[in-house]
Amino acid sequence: MKRSLLVVSVALAGCAHKPEVVREVPVPTPVTCVDPNRIPNEPPRVAQRLTGNARRDLEIVAQSAQELRLWGQEMHSLLELCAGKPVQP
């Protein structure tokens, strides 16, 4: 008798928890801050163009570095627009 009472009380104890509270949590929704068509394409990678000739490869890598720098500056300008920073001439 005591054993069955213990089993029943343990089984019922599992039902004695507090009910979960349902909360609404605001979820940020992405908003387009610039026209996606204004995002510049990434410059092409140059690894396949390297020849093993140091002088020629330097020209290839230097040109790629300039293209990447320009691309980064364009992306930075777009990011500043998204952040609301005024455009500088």
Q: If you search the block for the tokens 């002088």, which residue do you land on?
A: 55
Q: What's the domain count of the chain?
A: 1
In a domain, 42, yes or no: yes
Q: What domain range is 62 assigned to?
A: 32-89
- Block means of pLDDT (10 residues each) for the chain, length 89 residues? 67 67 87 88 95 96 97 93 74
Residue 10: both structure tokens together: 């343990």
Give the global pTM. 0.59
The DSSP-derived string for 9-78 is HHHHHTT-SPPPPP-----------S-GGGSPPPPPP-GGG--S-HHHHHHHHHHHHHHHHHHHHHHHHH
Give the pLDDT confidence of 22-46 residue by residue, as tens digits: 889 898 888 888 888 999 999 999 9
What is residue 71's predicted lDDT score, i.e. its pLDDT?
97
Residue 87: both structure tokens together: 């455009």
